[in-house]
């Protein structure tokens, strides 16, 4: 295959990408760099496989056979091989193979045989030959009940009366003229002349949005989170629903968001469909070695789907950019984007890796690279809703105003954190500075007062719950405060109590109270209906429902009383402590609210210490919160 070349990123590309613009020349340079990266990965896999004794015993031809075929296709049809190198499954497969070939095979028990996984290269070469009309015979692995041909689709095999998995190898014959044939044991199947058409057992990949987006439900390496998967074909009804929703979402981008549409068309070309997500809780994920791809649930609202397309396209762009130059000086964690879990070991000390930071869209702490990923993606989301809210009416417009107000401020806060606390490279500083300038232009944009207040409450809620879950105050400082409370010490004389971030693995997603705020904007009764029958209730302690509803609907005193009752029985509950703080803020109890929204971990730890020391009854949570809130060294000065 063609040798890789040196790639460069002009500063103009960096500046444009920082604000979500991608010119055709920029797109071409980024895709060329990704192809070069994939070629190097492919070479590394072949070399590792040839050096691994575990690769012997394969019923397939040696890896040099598909590699030679790819080079033969490239000589006459370089565009076919270039497009194949763009295929996200190739990146996922290569990373998995390098890991599998370099670790003991005993660690991979329960997965399919190594030769079957290596045989994906045979399937890639076969797809290239089929697309180029290159006459050849090549053997392929059978996976599950079919034979996948990446970028094209799969041949579904009829049920074998002798049981599944009896036939493990198929042979694809591509003649100089006439239809290609796939032979499995004693049965032969003809492939359609146009691989985009379903015919017999052939199941083509579906192309939507004017052919620029592929719905991939068959590639075994479509999902980076799992081992190779069998196909889960969409039903015609499901496929039709996906197609209509995606085309409507793409049309909205083309009409009102030309820069975001161009970014999507270049950086998001393959969509892996996931089951439909509940309202207000969409699911999507991306991976740094699957440039151009995203996993995504089917949304219930076209606008939400369009926003998620923008979000994931930006993840893909930043992954591609980070493959060419570093933006964070301590980015050695293999960070895969805002939607991926940290790959840092559970038992590592807090200072063993980069500093962990608050990301408003996450329930867990993030390294700087993860925060940058999220800030970049949500900048696209904020800008989408900034424009979209003026094209919508009624409830839809109010929800769009809320999303803009929430995420524009979240991005601004995250960028401030990156500027002040992250170790950015010089180019990283330039990239973030351009984002800061763009975000500053959003600040004067008007938002209805009641919607803006709800967005501010949501932002305070997310941050305070995160603090309550993942920050831990100094033990000795907490004991000192507990003694001071018992002795009635003047809070103004007490010292500071530092806290440190230590990830609590019990908490992944952000607190779901925000779903009720969004439902509140959807109209009377919508919040109550969602609380008792929507995704909010899944996994939520039901005792939180009544005070959560009261809080989101504006009944501060009823909410505060409900949270106090919860804390009397379960003083651990982070969401109840923060809910109380929000209710007290609405009721005008500024000192107590300030403590619970800015240092909830301190209030909770002091309460726990006092309850354990056995000296009298546990303190009243509202009174203790008010007292801690009056300690300037701990909480600063509460706002009036």
DSSP secondary structure of 384-442: HHHHHTTT--HHHHHHHHHHHHHHHHHHHHHHHHHHHHS-B-HHHHHHHHHHHHHHHTT
Q: Which two tokens stand for residue 249?
A: 């979402």
DSSP character for 353?
S
pLDDT for the residue numbered 603: 98
Model confidence at 6, pLDDT cuts 50, 70, 90, reads: confident
Long-range contacts of residues 588-591, Cβ cutoff 8 Å, at least 24 apart: 589/622, 589/626, 590/629, 590/638, 590/639, 590/640, 591/625, 591/626, 591/629, 591/630, 591/638
pLDDT for the residue numbered 538: 83
Do strands 213-215 and 206-208 pair parallel, antiparallel, or not at all (unpaired)? Answer: antiparallel
Closest CA to 262 of 462, 21, 77: 21
- CA torsion angle 510 514 518 521 (round to 10): -170
Rounded distance, CA 201 to CA 307, Å?
36
The terminus-to-terminus CA distance of the chain in angstroms comes to 68
pLDDT in tens, 93-150: 999 999 999 988 777 776 788 999 999 999 999 999 999 999 999 999 999 889 999 9
Angle between helices 258-267 and 236-256 (to 10 degrees): 140
Rounded distance, CA 544 to CA 393, Å?
32
Residue 143 dihedral angles phi and psi, to the nearest 5°: -120, 120
| Residue length of the chain | 640
pLDDT for the residue numbered 297: 95
Whether 350 shows a pLDDT value over 60: the answer reads no
Looking at the DSSP bridge assignments, the partners of residue 328 are: 424
Percent of the chain surpassing pLDDT 90: 81
Residues with Cβ within 8 Å of 201's Cβ and at least 6 positions away in sequence, in order, are 146, 155, 156, 157, 158, 189
Hey, is 197 helix, strand or coil? coil
Closest CA to 390 of 257, 576, 579: 257
| Stretch 520-538: mean pLDDT | 89
Whether 160 shows a pLDDT value over 80: the answer reads no
Query: How many CB atoms within 10 Å of residue 12?
Result: 11
Q: Which two tokens stand for residue 333?
A: 């964690």
Which regions of 290-404 does DSSP assign to beta strands (E)?
292-297
Residues with Cβ within 8 Å of 437's Cβ and at least 6 positions away in sequence, in order, are none
**More confident call, 499 vs 351:** 499
pLDDT in tens, 564-593: 999 999 999 999 999 999 999 999 999 999
pLDDT for the residue numbered 18: 98
Residues with Cβ within 8 Å of 592's Cβ and at least 6 positions away in sequence, in order, are 581, 584, 622, 625, 626, 629
Mean pLDDT of the chain: 91
Query: How many CB atoms within 10 Å of residue 284?
Result: 21
**More confident call, 7 vs 247:** 247
Whether 166 shows a pLDDT value over 80: the answer reads no
DSSP character for 166?
S
Residue 295 dihedral angles phi and psi, to the nearest 5°: -90, 140
Residue for token digits 């003229």? 177
Residue 67 dihedral angles phi and psi, to the nearest 5°: -65, -45
Whether 336 shows a pLDDT value over 60: the answer reads no
Residues with Cβ within 8 Å of 305's Cβ and at least 6 positions away in sequence, in order, are 245, 246, 248, 249, 282, 298, 299
Beta carbons of 465 and 574 less than 8 angstroms apart: yes
Helix (H) or strand (E) holding 320: helix 302-322
Residue 352 dihedral angles phi and psi, to the nearest 5°: -80, -20
Closest CA to 43 of 17, 16, 23, 71: 71
């Amino acid at each position: 295959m063609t040798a890789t070349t040196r790639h460069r990123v002009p500063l103009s590309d960096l500046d444009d990408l920082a604000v979500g613009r991608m010119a055709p020349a920029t797109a071409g340079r980024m895709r060329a760099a990704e192809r070069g990266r994939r070629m190097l990965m492919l070479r590394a896999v072949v070399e590792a496989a040839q050096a691994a004794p575990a690769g012997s015993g394969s019923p397939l031809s040696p890896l040099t056979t598909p590699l030679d075929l790819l080079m033969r296709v490239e000589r006459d049809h370089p565009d076919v091989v270039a497009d194949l190198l763009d295929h996200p499954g190739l990146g996922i497969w290569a990373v998995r193979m390098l890991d599998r070939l370099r670790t003991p095979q005993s660690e991979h028990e329960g997965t399919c045989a190594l030769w079957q996984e290596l045989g994906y290269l045979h399937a890639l070469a076969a797809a290239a030959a089929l697309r180029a009309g290159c006459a050849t015979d090549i053997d392929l692995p059978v996976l599950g009940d079919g034979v996948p041909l990446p970028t094209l689709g799969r041949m579904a095999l009829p049920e074998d009366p002798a049981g599944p998995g009896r036939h493990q190898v198929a042979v694809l014959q591509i003649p100089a003229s006439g239809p290609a044939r796939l032979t499995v044991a004693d049965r032969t199947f003809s492939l359609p002349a146009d691989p985009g058409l379903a015919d017999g057992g052939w199941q083509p990949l579906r192309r939507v949005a004017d052919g620029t987006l592929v719905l991939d439900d068959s590639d075994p390496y479509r999902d980076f989170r799992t081992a190779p998967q069998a196909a889960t074909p969409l039903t015609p009804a499901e496929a039709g629903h996906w197609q209509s929703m995606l085309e409507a979402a793409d049309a909205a981008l083309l009409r009102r968001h030309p820069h975001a549409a161009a970014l999507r068309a270049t950086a998001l070309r393959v969509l892996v469909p996931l089951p439909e997500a509940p309202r207000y809780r969409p699911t999507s994920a991306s991976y740094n070695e699957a440039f151009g791809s995203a996993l995504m649930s089917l949304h219930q609202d076209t606008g939400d789907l369009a926003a998620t397309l923008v979000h994931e396209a930006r993840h893909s762009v930043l992954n591609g950019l980070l493959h060419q130059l570093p933006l964070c000086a301590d980015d050695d964690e293999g960070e895969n984007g805002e939607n991926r879990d940290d790959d840092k070991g559970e038992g590592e000390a807090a200072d063993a890796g980069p500093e962990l930071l608050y990301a408003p869209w996450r329930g867990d702490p993030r390294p700087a690279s993860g925060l940058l990923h999220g800030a970049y993606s949500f900048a696209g989301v904020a800008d989408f809703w900034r424009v979209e809210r003026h094209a919508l009416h009624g409830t839809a417009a109010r929800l769009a105003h809320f999303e803009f107000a929430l995420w524009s401020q979240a991005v601004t806060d995250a960028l401030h954190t990156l500027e002040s606390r992250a170790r950015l490279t010089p180019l990283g500083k330039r990239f973030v500075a351009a984002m800061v300038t763009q975000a500053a232009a959003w600040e004067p944009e008007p938002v209805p007062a009641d919607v803006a207040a709800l967005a501010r409450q949501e932002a305070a809620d997310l941050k305070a719950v995160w603090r309550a879950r993942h920050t831990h105050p100094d033990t000795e400082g907490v004991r000192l405060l507990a003694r001071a409370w018992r002795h009635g010490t003047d809070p103004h004389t007490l010292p500071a109590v530092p806290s440190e971030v230590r990830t609590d693995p019990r908490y992944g997603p952000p607190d779901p109270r925000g779903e009720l705020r969004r439902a509140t904007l959807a109209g009377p009764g919508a919040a109550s209906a969602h609380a008792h029958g929507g995704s909010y209730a899944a996994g939520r302690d039901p005792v939180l429902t009544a005070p959560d509803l009261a809080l989101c609907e504006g009944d501060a005193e009823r909410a505060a009383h409900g949270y106090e009752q919860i804390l009397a029985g379960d003083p651990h509950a982070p969401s109840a402590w923060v809910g109380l703080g929000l209710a007290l803020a609405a009721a005008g109890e500024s000192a107590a609210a300030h403590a619970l929204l800015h240092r909830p971990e301190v209030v909770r730890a002091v309460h726990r210490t006092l309850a354990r020391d056995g000296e009298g009854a546990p303190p009243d949570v509202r009174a203790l919160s008010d007292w801690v809130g009056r300690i300037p060294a701990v909480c600063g000065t509460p706002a009036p």
